Amino acid sequence: MSSQKALLAAKYLNMFPAFLFIFALLLMMAIPPIDFATPQQDTRRTIVSDDFVKNRPRARVRTKSPGKSGSVPDGKTSVGGRVYRLASQPLLGPGAKSSFSNQLQLGLTVWKLRPFAVADFSVLRSIRENGRLRPGWIEERVEADTRFHQGEYLRLSIESPYAGYLYVIDRDWFADGSSGDTNLIFPVRGDDNRLQAGRLIDIPAENQAPFKATPKFNQAGEILTIIVKSTPLRLPISDQPQQISNTQLMEWEGLWRAMSERFEMEGGAGQARTKQEEQAAARNRTRQLTRDDPGPQTIYVLTPKNRGAFLFNVNLSYIR
């Protein structure tokens, strides 16, 4: 009898590892797998802004709009029927919804200049370089995070849906994280830095040579600090860009630095500059952009500390 019990016990002991295996397998099936991949942040939001449209004058002759303003898919915003996608890290949490009612905006279009091809005669442009007219250049929209090669030319257009005064500070930005001298490049004497809905401010102006990408050793790009104030800064303005002390810049940053999100116009990159945009940037102010004219390529949505002034940075990148 004792021998039978011993055989039975041995049988159950031999089966025990199998029971453990089955139990562990069932447990693994019940627990969801762990995803070790980098989590994707949900940036979908419903944001609609018509500030650049409603504050522009109406067109005297109605032209066909590229689309209908109003509600757009999550994560996009329309300006005059144009759709903008979020192109930076979101400030709001996943699934949050917002409007632009408590925020401010500024429009930026970065133009990259290239020689024209035979098919480009309808949009032939001329630029002035070193005091001489150089025919055969075309200005095309690029997104603000475009990387520029050495020798390429670019120009900036800035538009605000509200009145104010514009200031632009430039610093070299190096790969080791350091930065160069801090210079106020706009305005200089003779520049009109007043912002107005439908008016573009070109930097440099159309009668000046465009920027040329000439990176120094180990230079990754330029940091442009854009300041907009409801009243003018008390600064001496000279004929040339003037140096601003780091202490002064840090003081302004403490007062006016704004959180920002960047939106890019879908399908805008590569479009040539229009005659209307040229006229809206002319010094004689021959016209304003109307509600039917193109919107800015890039819209910065800003959350300032106060509505009297805001400051934010735009990085222009170089590639060798």
Spatial distance between the Cα atoms of 29 and 4, rounded to a whole number of angstroms: 38
Point out the least confidently predicted range of 4-13, 101-110, 148-157. 4-13
Average pLDDT over residues 139-144: 96
Residue 151 has pLDDT above 60, yes or no: yes
210-244 pLDDT, tens per residue? 999 999 999 999 999 999 999 999 988 889 999 99
Spatial distance between the Cα atoms of 87 and 279, rounded to a whole number of angstroms: 29
Spatial distance between the Cα atoms of 81 and 53, rounded to a whole number of angstroms: 9
Spatial distance between the Cα atoms of 55 and 166, rounded to a whole number of angstroms: 18
Average pLDDT over residues 264-286: 89
Report in angstroms the alpha-carbon separations of 274 from 63, 77, 154, 213, 320: 15, 23, 16, 24, 30
**What is the reported pLDDT for 258?**
95
Residue 46 has pLDDT above 50, yes or no: no
32 versus 201: the higher-pLDDT residue is 201
**What is the reported pLDDT for 121?**
58
Spatial distance between the Cα atoms of 208 and 240, rounded to a whole number of angstroms: 13
171-196 pLDDT, tens per residue? 999 999 999 999 999 999 999 999 99
**What is the reported pLDDT for 93?**
55
Percentage, residues of the chain above pLDDT 90? 52
Of 111, 95, 102, 92, whose CA–CA distance to 51 is shortest? 102
Question: Would you say the pTM of this structure is higher than 0.75?
Answer: yes
Residue 26 has pLDDT above 80, yes or no: no
Of 277, 227, 293, whose CA–CA distance to 58 is shortest? 293
Percentage, residues of the chain above pLDDT 70? 68
**What is the reported pLDDT for 227?**
98
The position carrying tokens 């005297």 is: 60
Amino acid letter at 157? S
Instruction: Output DSSP code: residue 306.
Output: B
What is the rounded average pLDDT for all residues in the chain? 79
Structure tokens at 186: 């706009």
320 versus 27: the higher-pLDDT residue is 320
Point out the least confidently predicted range of 39-48, 58-67, 154-163, 267-276. 39-48
Of 153, 148, 151, 150, whose CA–CA distance to 136 is shortest? 153
**What is the reported pLDDT for 17?**
55
**What is the reported pLDDT for 60?**
77
Structure tokens at 309: 């002034």
The SS3 call for residue 37 is coil
The SS3 call for residue 202 is strand
Q: What angle do CA 108, 140, 128 make, to 5 degrees?
A: 95
Average pLDDT over residues 252-272: 94
Instruction: Output DSSP code: residue 1.
Output: -
Amino acid letter at 174? F
**What is the reported pLDDT for 49?**
53
β strands within 175-279, DSSP E: 183-186, 194-195, 201-203, 211-212, 219-229, 242-243, 259-265
Average pLDDT over residues 7-23: 52
β strands within 42-102, DSSP E: 76-79, 82-86
Specify the length of the chain in residues: 320
